[in-house]
Amino acid sequence: MTTLRRPLKSLGQNFLVDGNIIAKIIRTAEPDPEDSILEIGPGRGALSDLLVQNARRLTLVEFDHALAAALKERYAGNDLVTVIDGDILELDLAEVLGKEQSAWKVVANLPYNISTPILFRLLEMRGLFSRLVLMLQREVGERLVASPDCADYGVTTLLLGLWFDIRREFIVPPTCFHPRPKVDSAVLSFVPLHRPRVEVGDEAVFRKVVKGAFAMRRKTLSNCLKATELASVEDLREILQQCGIDGKRRGETLSMEEFASLSRSLSKFSSTAEF
Ligand code: SAM
């Protein structure tokens, strides 16, 4: 049997040790005997041990070689479980998961140091998934469900919110982990939408408008958009006017529909541009 070594901070290893919270995450994921489930960062298997009891297929992706080896040993002989010793950010998910006919559920207590790149990777591959239940640093979770005009509202709110219904399920205190993180965590559920929440024209333009609007939070929307070089100063002025948006506002005050309206108009100027 493999012996446990100290958790690695560099891999965001804060293992769940609270049975009630583990059970609550599993209840939120609603595993079903028909489900194919992907768990990112299974660690010592706190969630995997329960997921395996109620899934048709469980694929575990663990970057820590020693933990992946221990999981392979633990589930040896169980045909339902596949352990991948790899990096979720590098893995070809379409290749690994795409062979299944049905969509995958994703369950994870994410490594907090790379949770944002993982979220964007999952966003990119959203067509593979039916539902995601993810534990994140509370602050990152708050950003995903924030409303305009509040400090948490920003790029991740808009880019993820365009393609997912996101719900904050519950907060998890540091005492539920070993070692204890310095901050609270939050469990959120994500359901991918078949169509974007609002029509944005060219999605690359939408991303550029949103990122540009939040790149300099203290500057006006006009100045932020100028810096994106998506259109000339004169065209920008006209577009803002057509969209009924005052260029003196700050990006954080715009609703998703207002960003979408800007993006639709700007898409006409940048249809061939690469971002
Ligand atoms: N699921 C376990 C639990 O809840 O106790 C462990 C969660 S721990 C917060 C994050 C896990 O992600 C660790 O096991 C860590 O080794 C793993 N990990 C870190 N970076 C990763 C990556 N790029 N790809 C896959 N797993 C990763």
Looking at residue 183, what is its pLDDT? 96
CA distance linking residue 95 with residue 107, whole number of Å: 19
Looking at residue 2, what is its pLDDT? 56
Looking at residue 270, what is its pLDDT? 67
Q: Which residues pair with 189 in a beta bridge?
A: 133, 167
Residue closest via CA to ligand 1's atom 17 equals 41
- Give residue 39's identity as a one-letter amino acid code: E
| CATH architecture of the domain with residue range 203-272 | Orthogonal Bundle (1.10)
pTM of the model: 0.94
| Phi-psi category of residue 221: left, alpha or beta, with phi > 0 → left and psi -120 to 50 → alpha | alpha
Atom index in ligand 1 nearest the CA of residue 39 equals 1
- The answer to whether the CB of 42 is under 6 A from ligand 1 is yes
Looking at residue 200, what is its pLDDT? 98
* Span(s) in the chain for CATH 1.10.8.100: 203-272
* Torsion 218-221-223-225 (CA) sign: positive
Residue closest via CA to ligand 1's atom 8 equals 13
* Span(s) in the chain for CATH 3.40.50.150: 9-192
Low-confidence stretches of the chain (pLDDT beneath 70): 1-3, 270-275
Q: What CATH homologous superfamily does 9-192 map to?
A: Vaccinia Virus protein VP39 (3.40.50.150)
Choosing from 13, 85, 93 the residue with most ligand 1 atoms within 8 A of its CB, the one to mutate for a pocket test is 13
Looking at residue 260, what is its pLDDT? 98
Looking at residue 256, what is its pLDDT? 98
